[in-house]
Amino acid sequence: MHRRFIASLLNEYVPGNPEEQENKSKMLDFLSRESNCFERSCQEGHFTGSCWLENFQENAALLTHHKKFKSWLQLGGHADGDSDLLRVAQKEALEESGLSVEPVINKIFDISVHFIPSYEDVGQHYHYDVRFYLRATEDKPFVVSEESYDLKWVNREDQLPDNPEVKRMFQKWRKLKESGVDTL
């Protein structure tokens, strides 16, 4: 059932640029041909669920300084067999920040297909990352997990890390906040 649900969300998603359009095509193809596409055991790659996480006050977004990738990224992680990627994104946000979250919108916020180099005993593969726009449900401090060096809130005026995908999500978020509308 959820395989159809994520396919439906991907089909509804309107990419903002040619790179996202290409990623959408890759994701739909991968979803249709790989029966274990939500499992880490799939050697080609697997789906992941991530989020652009806004604070309770709706004026900052949370980034993680990820230990494995050594860069500032959005929160998220492996589906581990769960085809409900929105639920995965919410679970990962809680695990990585200690914050309870809820979706701002029930649509895809951003997508990416990116190469993951070999790391320790895991071979190279791709992450088919589906990202959702979430909000913290209460005003409380975050907790840094073992996966991160640090977490930080960035507001609309802050300098961003030099990561094109984080910048793209930040620009989408900024446009939504400036328009006063939380829909895509």
- Per residue of the chain (184 residues), give pLDDT as tens: 478 989 999 999 999 999 999 999 999 999 999 999 999 999 999 999 999 999 999 999 999 998 888 889 999 999 999 999 999 999 999 999 999 999 999 899 999 999 998 888 888 999 999 999 999 999 999 999 998 999 999 987 777 778 899 999 999 998 888 887 666 5
The reported pLDDT for the residue numbered 1 is 42
Q: Which residues contact 151 (CB under 8 A, 6 or more apart)?
A: 62, 63, 64, 65, 96, 97, 142, 144
- Identify the structural domains of the chain with CATH numbers, from first to last: 2-179 (3.90.79.10)
Indicate the SS3 state at residue 56: coil
27-35: list long-range contacts, CB under 8 Å, 24+ apart.
Answer: 27/111, 27/113, 27/128, 27/130, 30/128, 31/3, 31/6, 31/7, 31/128, 32/7
The reported pLDDT for the residue numbered 183 is 61
The reported pLDDT for the residue numbered 160 is 75
Q: Are 58 and 181 in contact (CB under 8 A)?
A: no
The reported pLDDT for the residue numbered 12 is 97
- What DSSP string runs through 32-43? HH-TTTTSTT-S
CA 45 to chain CA centroid, nearest Å: 16
Measured in residues, the chain has a length of 184
